Amino acid sequence: MSMVVPDGNGPRAARITLHRCAAMAAAVAALGALAACTSGPAAGLSASQAASQIASHPPADGSGALSPVVQQAARAARAGAVVAVQGCGLDGVVAAGVADRRSRAPMPTQEPLRIGSVGKLYVAALIHQLAQEGRLDLDRPVVAQLPAGALDGIAGATATPRQLLNHTGGVPDYYTDRTIAEWDWTRPVTAARVLDAVRGLPATAAPGAAYAYSNTGWHILGLLAESVTGADLELLLRERILVPLGLHDTRYHTGHPGGTIRGYGLPGQPDRDTFAYAENSGADSGVAATPLDVTRFLAALFLPGGRLEPIGQAMQADPVQRDGPRKLAGPGAEITIGSTGLRLVGHTGDVAGYLTFAFAAPELDVAMMGQVTADRPEVLVRLLRDTIGVVQARCAAMQAASPSR
């Protein structure tokens, strides 16, 4: 995503590549990281070493096997790192590093994290739920399902909700040179600000013609959910998704998410403290959740027998090609297929200073998430790769030890 850095002399633009964390999925696939992983020279235990140790001596505390890779990520980021896994005996959360470089407070395991675009999964689940109830039509132009004038001047207004969900709607993204240079990103990101930013801009393509990632589409989906129900998005998510699933440590924010975990770094400013920014707000990235709540949500959506499994399946149906090999976009979920054929379903998140992955591997019956609190995408790529290596080794070890084998 992109943002502006306010300073004492007025706003100074510092661009973060839009949906930059999508590059993680390509890196995973290209490196063959969905098989047994190998890592280059670095401090700490490599994924291949961890996998070998697990295969030979599975630890009684499964989550403890993840400690070396999380510690390595925290050292590389010079900030905090956290991983949570559900499945294959790795149930739990591991944190390392610091939540605040000045106070040296340790990175917590039970505080809600700013998860950025991972929050799109929650809004997508809500949209599919409303569609299944007949409240809205996924294949009818969204402009026809909103009050008259709601999308006046917005290119791509004839896109359907399904096309907005898989980023083929053609709606221009609100991250533009103007918003990057002029917006105060310490203010909440609202649908009104977003639509004003794109009004009059050309469509990226005709609806349904091409994939082009658009955060704007999620703000339109949020307006649609509110319009067809008469309730605000926060209430809808809480009553329809969070409370039924027991996600008591997950919140939807329309303003600054708060907390104690500080993020760090922007391009050219690696030590910039980004805690004050309210980029993690609004329908495209407004969810904050504890690590375990994220994995519980992923399991409910994408793992066999999950409470929302039919919705999770609908979010993967008829995927379109994304921006790289083995990378697909369903109507609400991103899909990455590794070189071994293992399928990861979920999303990544990138708000200033907070980088996140959140994926389920249905074939392994595992859900996993991770975050680094620094603008170091290469560190998050490695954390994802190493986490997958540990997970696969642990799953293989458990299968080998199973009496039924």
pLDDT at 65: 87
Instruction: Look at residue 50 and tell me whether its pLDDT is greater than 90.
Output: no
Q: Residue 8 has what pLDDT? A: 30
Q: Mean of the pLDDT values across residues 123-148?
A: 98
pLDDT band at 47 (very low <50, low <70, confident <90, very high): very low
Structure tokens at 271: 């030590």
Closest to 112 measured CA to CA, from 249, 244, 234: 249
- Top pLDDT among 391 and 21 is at 391
The position carrying tokens 């609202």 is 190
pLDDT at residue 338, as a whole number: 84
**What is the distance between the alpha carbons of residues 347 and 336, in angstroms, rounded to a whole number?**
10
Return the axis-axis angle of helices 22-30 and 377-401, rounded to nearest 10°.
50
Give the pLDDT confidence score for residue 180 in this predicted structure.
76
Tokens, residue 68: 């070396």
Q: Of 311, 319, 372, 323, whose CA–CA distance to 343 is shortest?
A: 319
Contact indicator for 197, 178 with CB cutoff of 8 Å:
yes
Whichever domain contains 48, its CATH number is 3.40.710.10
How confident is the model over 315-369, as pLDDT tens digits? 999 999 998 889 999 999 999 998 788 899 999 999 999 999 999 999 999 999 9
Cβ(3)–Cβ(279) under 8 Å? yes
Quote the pLDDT of residue 28. Answer: 43
pLDDT of residue 404: 62
CA distance 4 to 9: 13
Contact 127, 165 (CB under 8 A): yes
200 pLDDT band, cuts 50/70/90, is very high
Q: Tally the domains of the chain.
A: 1
- Is the pLDDT at 111 greater than 90? The verdict is yes
Own/partner pairs for 305-310, CB < 8 Å, 24+ apart?
Answer: 307/244, 307/245, 308/125, 308/245, 310/132
How far is the C-alpha of 367 from the C-alpha of 302, rounded, in Å? 8
Q: What is the pLDDT of residue 19?
A: 41
The closest alpha carbon to 194, from 403, 392, 2, belongs to 2
User: How many CA atoms does the CB half-sphere of 323 hold within 13 Å?
Assistant: 14
**Per-residue pLDDT tens for 259-314?**
999 999 987 889 999 999 999 999 999 999 999 999 999 999 999 999 999 999 99
Q: What's the confidence (pLDDT) of residue 51?
A: 37
SS3 for 59?
A: coil
Residues 63-93: pLDDT tens digits? 678 999 999 999 999 999 999 999 999 999 9
Which residue in 270, 372, 388 sits closest to 339, CA to CA? Answer: 388
- Nearest CA to 116 among 1, 274, 270, 261? 1
Range of the domain at 9: 3-401
Does residue 49 carry a pLDDT above 50?
Answer: no
Residues 385, 31 contacting (CB under 8 angstroms): yes
**Which pLDDT does position 3 carry in this prediction?**
33
Report CA dihedral (334, 176, 180, 352) to the nearest 10 degrees.
0
Quickly list H helices, 183-318: 191-198, 216-229, 233-237, 291-302, 309-314
DSSP 111-122: SPEE-GGGGHHH
Specify the pTM.
Answer: 0.88
Report residue 62's pLDDT band, with 50, 70 and 90 as the boundaries: low
